[in-house]
Amino acid sequence: MDRHFKSKVKFHHIYRNVIVAVLSIVLIVGGIYGGRELSWKEIAADEVAVIVNNLTGGIKLINRAGAVLYYPFVQDIYILDKREQVLKMTSAEIDDKHPQGNPLVVKSIDGGDVVLDLQLQYMLRPDVAIHIVQSTGVGDVFKKKWLYDYARTICYYCYGELTLGEFPVASLRDIKAQRAKEEINKMLEIHGFSVTSINLTDYRYYREYAEKIQERRLADKEVEEQKTRGSAAKENQRKVIVEETKKLEVEVARFRGECDKRIMDARGSAEAKKQDANAYLIQKKYQADADFEKLSKESEAVLATVKTDAEGIRLLRNALDGEGGRNMVRLEYAKRLKQAIVRSTPIIRQGIETPQSIQRFKYIEDAPKIDYMFPEPPDAALVSPLKPGPDKSP
């Protein structure tokens, strides 16, 4: 074994002790220095803080109000405003870059130029403040990088869809503002902030445009007044129609009631007349039956009387037929002759008396028969069925 051999383990132990001592001294000195340089910042209620560790690269989000401690050289702290802020694009915003203000000049769909004064209200999303610092930057960089350019471009296209005559209509402007806000938020929400409202404070035209638009507005106003008058007239007409309709309905209802009353009276009268007619019919029926029965009895009596008379006449005719009838005729002639007056006037011709012959009536056997059923009236001319007998004068 070499006597001059020296073990290296001893030197390694010494090196290690030296390194540990140096590190301990550095830590002690750093702690003393860091304690002297330790700083803090106060976070307001409307602010959010992002702490970046420069040694480890870690990022911490502080979303509360209060004091925050940090090492200035080891850590960086960035404070962002999370309250609602306003981005003004108006003629009053005059600076070195915009000596005549910073309004938004849009071209309407019908070719006119319109100057708009806009105010955009926006706010950060505190939960994505770390993303904003990493992708956009700190401070107000995001306003210039995202909000200003996007807002002007989208508002230019949305408001440019209106005509010069539609700009005075507030409802149409509000529709375009709402559409612009939705388009802006669709693009910028992924970057950590959003627009809450877009307010159009003023709009202006060139003088020639303004005069023409004023004339058109006056004409539109006159048209609206005429429409209002027409609507009032229509309303009045509708009111009159309703009133007259109500009056007509009342009159119709009254007339219907009167007609119903008359119908009921007519029905009652008709029913009474019907009852009277039925009673009269029954009365006449019974009376006719009684008269028929009476006349039937009378006709039977007359028929019996006539039959009896006819039978008597028939018997009389039978009795007068033959010698009995002749005797009756002779008797009647005798009665007539008994009452007759016979006068005789002598006829003298030149003093010579002419003797008159008297002929006696002679019964002629073959004289025609007389129908004694139909005798002649007493005052009828006497026509004797007998012929004079033979002259028996000398």
- The low-confidence residues of the chain, meaning pLDDT below 50, are 1-2, 5, 7-9, 35-36, 358-367, 372-373, 378-394
* pLDDT tens digits for range 335-386: 777 777 766 565 555 555 555 554 444 444 444 555 544 555 544 444 444 4
Q: What is the pLDDT of residue 175?
A: 92
Instruction: Give the integer Cα–Cα distance in Å for 344 and 356.
Output: 9
Tell me the domains of the chain and their CATH numbers. Answer: 9-78 (no CATH), 84-205 (3.30.479.30)
Q: What is the pLDDT of residue 342?
A: 62
Strand partners, 193: 124
Torsion of CA 227, 233, 234, 236, to 10 degrees: 150
Structure tokens at 127: 């939960």
Specify the amino acid at residue 130: I
* pLDDT tens digits for range 317-341: 776 666 666 777 777 777 777 777 7
Q: What is the pLDDT of residue 13?
A: 64
Q: What is the pLDDT of residue 2?
A: 46
* DSSP codes of every residue in 233-295: HHHHHHHHHHHHHHHHHHHHHHHHHHHHHHHHHHHHHHHHHHHHHHHHHHHHHHHHHHHHHHH
Instruction: Give the integer Cα–Cα distance in Å for 210 and 89.
Output: 22
pTM of the predicted model as reported, rounded to 2 decimal places: 0.44
Q: Write a three-state SS string for 25-75.
A: HHHHHHHHHHHHHCEEEEECCCEEEEEEECCCCCEEEECCCEEEEECCCCE
